[in-house]
Amino acid sequence: MEALPETLQRLKGKIAIITGGSRGIGRSTALALGMEGANVVVNYAKSSDAALEVIAEIVAAGGNGMALQADVSQMEEVDNFVKKVMEKWSRIDILVNNAGITRDKLLLRMKPEDWHSVIDLNLTGVFLCTRAVSKIMLKQKSGRIINVASVAGQTGNPGQANYSAAKAGVIGFTKTVAKELANRGITVNAVAPGFIATDMTKDLKNSEEIMKFIPLGRYGKPEEVAGMIKFLAADDAANYITGQVFNVDGGF
Residues annotated as catalytic (active site), given as ranges:
163
| Residue 40: Cβ within 10 Å count | 31
Give CA separation, 204 vs 116, 209, 224, in Å: 22, 10, 20
**Three-class secondary structure of residue 204 per DSSP:** coil
CA atoms within 13 A on the CB side of 162: 24
Q: Edge-to-edge strands of the sheet including 186-193? A: 64-69, 39-44, 15-18, 94-97, 143-148, 186-193, 245-248
Residues 6+ away with beta carbon under 8 Å from 79: 132
